[in-house]
Chain A
Amino acid sequence: MNDEFNLSPIQLDALREIGNVGAGNSATALSQIINKRIDMNVPKVALVPIESVPDLVGGPDAIVVGVFLRIYGKAPGNVLFLLPQKSAFYLVDTLMGREHGTTKSLDFMDESALMEIGNILSGAYLNAFFNFTHISMLPSIPALAMDMAGAILNIILVQLGQMGDQAMVIETQFLAEDDGINGHFFLVPDPGSLGTLIKAVGVE
């Protein structure tokens, strides 16, 4: 078991608050891009057994679109923005100015648009972490895949799996006002990064 996961309630609250501000930034950004109100829930900051992470997004065989970014810097980690297939198609239709229900599969331009959304959301989100911690978290260029949730989550779970049996996930759900979009934003710090972030916030 990893000691850094033994966080006090105050430390968890601090992470939740930073996550909240970050998610707020992201929701605002997304809202401005698609010109719709975006609601979000209070971020979950939770330690979960690795094998149960896919259940957070509808089970390992749910079809989702995932935009993945690696975070570099002093507190490395991973960002994964997951959208159920239906939400992703809806978002692409909105971005491309097409009638909803037009998109049946993603072409090159659609993928590019979704990756850009992932990019913008991550930037807005990570900005909050920088404001609180003064640790730069630099996202890589995004990568995209549409497949089973379990398969897509593998990319972050194997990295955590090397270090332990549990994952610290900071997760926020985004909802568009008309229920067309329902996305999950995951920030999963590498083992070791969590301690760095907590220390930088100054919550003992």
Chain B
Amino acid sequence: MANLIKVGMADYKVGRSPSVLISYGLGSCIGISLYDPQTKVGGLLHIMLPDSNQARASDNPAKFADTGIPLMLYDVLALGASKSRLVAKIAGGAQMFAFANATDIMRVGNRNAEAVKAILRRNGIKVIAEDTGGNYGRTVQIDLNTGVYKVKTIDRGEKDI
């Protein structure tokens, strides 16, 4: 029986097969999975904001893309993943409310997605699948046995990316 590990908001978990990592109810947040298909080691990070430099000091680096990704990368490598084989899949980054004069922070989903991709690229990690944008929430899970990243929604069914 696969071991289901929950990842909260502004949190990350790493593990190996046969664990499944899951994070519920992402809106503008992004769920970033890393996976090494050979060692079947991976991780899931649930970030809220793109950049820790645009925020006040926080005790939680997993809240931001720029500080969370290197942290998860370090832990995944420590579990035996190889950086050259690691691939990333990302989902989330929605804008939940259509708002006439939305402030920048209400459109944070887009900025999250851009920041995540840029930071992964800078770390030399390929993004092989993406399901971002829209105006609906997502629950994401990565199966560390297969590397399948499942994205569930309420009205739009679920898909494997």
Chain A interface (Cβ < 8 Å from any Cβ of B): 2, 50-51, 54, 59-61, 63, 66, 68, 70, 140-141, 143-155, 157-159, 161-165
Contacts and interface: CB of A to CB of B under 8 A. Distances in A.
Contacts of A145: 96-97, 135
Contacts of B138: 148, 151
Given A150-B25, A154-B27, A157-B48, A51 B8 contact: yes
Which secondary structure dominates where chain A touches chain B?
Answer: mixed
Interface stretch (B37-45, B53-61, B115-123, B142-150): B53-61
Nearest to A54: B25
Contacts of A151: 25-29, 94, 96, 136-138
Contact of A159 (B9, B10, B59, B105): B105
Nearest to B138: A151
Contacts of B100: 141
Interface in B127-142: 135-139
A162 B55 contact: yes
Contact of A155 (B10, B25, B56, B97): B97
Closest 9 pairs between A and B when the two form their complex, measured CB to CB:
A150-B25, A151-B137, A60-B25, A151-B27, A154-B27, A148-B25, A148-B137, A143-B97, A61-B24
A163 B55 contact: yes
Contacts of B60: 165
Contacts of B63: 161, 165
B106 interface: yes
A162 B96 contact: no
Nearest to A61: B24
Secondary structure at chain B's binding surface: helix, strand, loop or mixed?
A: loop
Interface in B90-124: 94, 96-100, 103, 105-106, 108
Given A51-B10, A148-B139, A151-B136, 10 more contacts: A54-B9, A59-B25, A60-B9, A147-B136, A155-B96, A155-B106, A161-B55, A161-B58, A161-B63, A165-B63
Contacts of B54: 162
Interface in B1-38: 8-11, 24-29
